[in-house]
Amino acid sequence: MKVEQDLEEIKQRLTQIEAKLERGSTSGRIIKYMIIIFLSIIFLFFALGVVQFVAGSSV
C-alpha cells in the first residue's frame, strides 16, 4: 500500500514538472524569436546604410 502511494506521488510530481517545463520552453521560444527579429532589423538597417553610402560616394 505504501509503495503504491509513493508511486502515485511520484507520478503527480512528474506531471507538475513536465507542465512547468512546457511553460518555460514556450517563453524561451518567444524570447529567442524576438531576439532574432531584433537582430534582423538591425542588419537590414546596416545593409541599407552601406548601400546608401556606396551610392552616394560613387556620384
How do residues 10-53 score in pLDDT, each as one tens digit?
999 999 998 888 776 777 888 999 999 999 999 999 999 999 99
List of residues 6+ apart from 29 with CB closer than 8 A: none
Closest CA to 9 of 49, 41, 1, 56: 1
Residue 8: its pLDDT value, please?
Answer: 92
- Tell me the three cell numbers of residue 50: 552601406
Residue 34: its pLDDT value, please?
Answer: 95
Residue 14: its pLDDT value, please?
Answer: 93
pTM of the model: 0.56
Give CA–CA dist 22/51, Å, rounded. 44
Band of residue 59 on the pLDDT scale cut at 50, 70, 90:
low
Amino acid identity of residue 7, one-letter, is L
